[in-house]
Amino acid sequence: MYTSMFSTHASNGTTLALKQTKIYGDFKKSDFFHKHHLLHFKGSSLSVNRIACNSGSLLTKDRIQPAILDEVESIRTFLKGQKFQLHDVIEAQQFDRDMLSAIFEVAREMETIEKTSRGSQILNGYLMSTLFYEPSTRTRLSFESAMKRLGGEVLTTENAREFSSAAKGETLEDTIRTVEGYSDIIVMRHFEGGAAQRAAKTANIPVINAGDGPGQHPTQALLDMYTIEREIGKLDGIKVGLVGDLANGRTARSLAYLLAKYNDVKIYLVSPQVVKMKEDIKEYLTSKGVDWEESADLKEVASKCDVVYQTRIQKERFGERTDLYEQARGKYIVDRGVLDVMQKHAVIMHPFPRLDEITVDVDDDPRAAYFRQAKNGLFIRMALLKLLLLGW
């Protein structure tokens, strides 16, 4: 007997689960439901929102009877007001599919708050400290905007590496212990890989990793996945081309971890030889059964992909080896020629900042999703602040 579960949400905000064996009714046994689509209670009946069978058809609400309520089991997941499962956001591996789907639901609520009002006061009285030891525009400002749009306040220092006590030799641990006394949550970007983990071990308040050296950038990966779902309409069965600096690109590394959680994903790795994806990510993808391949032909990859994820060659990661930087720079550029071979539904994404790796004449094409992607960062970060400070 098939007994897998899928999530549902009741009108009172609770989350329920239905056994697939309990709701066959007049469905064929082969019509298995996908796990993450939602049922919404309306009055005494159930209506269906995007519930797909493996036949590809859509179910309609008149095919599910009120009697099904007797078969509902209230078992879990993410109950309204419940504590968020994570204390800190440090790496992409912390998230599973259920949590990602639920975070994306909260992010859509944040879209509504941002679009239909001047904001919310749910975080009124909370203080967020932003500690950025590396330059940032989008990440820092989107976090600060997210906090303010939810009614909270911000304590900030830009370029903390130079304009904080770190310049005097203070340890990261001492800085964190001090700052947590002033605030309720810390968002930190650091030039050293592993710094976010050190901060989280030290702090008694939540820490969000806003990028640590060539390590990870988990909130960027979350907004990237959210963008793909919004633009393409699905996360299973997609083909993604990761392009550019894959050795040092924490955004591409973090995205690869999250893509590996979905089914039938194909990843193409397109990069200059000196900045190829490191073996740890390749081994991880292989261990998760993800189909991946390296390619030197951007146009060929772009013609196959749903998403072309372009990244900047990061000069700051090369140190004094400017010769290696020059070898890598400008090798793969998304231009009108690449657009010409892309599918109509496909999108181009970029975590920014952009130099010359996407030409500006691409910007007006509807498949250029990178500015929409940047805006989605606001909604994801609003969702994370709400969840870490208040829970579901």
Q: Which residues are catalytic?
A: 138-139, 168, 189, 217
Q: How many residues does the chain have?
A: 392
Contact by Cβ (8 Å): 195, 188? yes
Cα 305 to Cα 350: distance, rounded to the nearest angstrom: 15
Structure tokens at 374: 């940047």
Distances in whole angstroms, Cα of residue 287 to Cα of each of 223, 254, 280: 25, 16, 10
Contact by Cβ (8 Å): 150, 119? yes
Torsion sign across C-alpha atoms 136, 141, 146, 148: positive
> Which alpha helices (DSSP H) does 136-261 contain, by range?
138-149, 160-163, 172-179, 195-202, 218-232, 250-259
CA dihedral in degrees (111, 115, 377, 135; nearest 10)?
-150
Structure tokens at 267: 């990843």
SS3 of residue 313 by DSSP: coil
Strand order in the sheet with 185-190: 153-157, 127-132, 185-190, 207-212
Contact by Cβ (8 Å): 36, 236? no
Structure tokens at 132: 């950025």
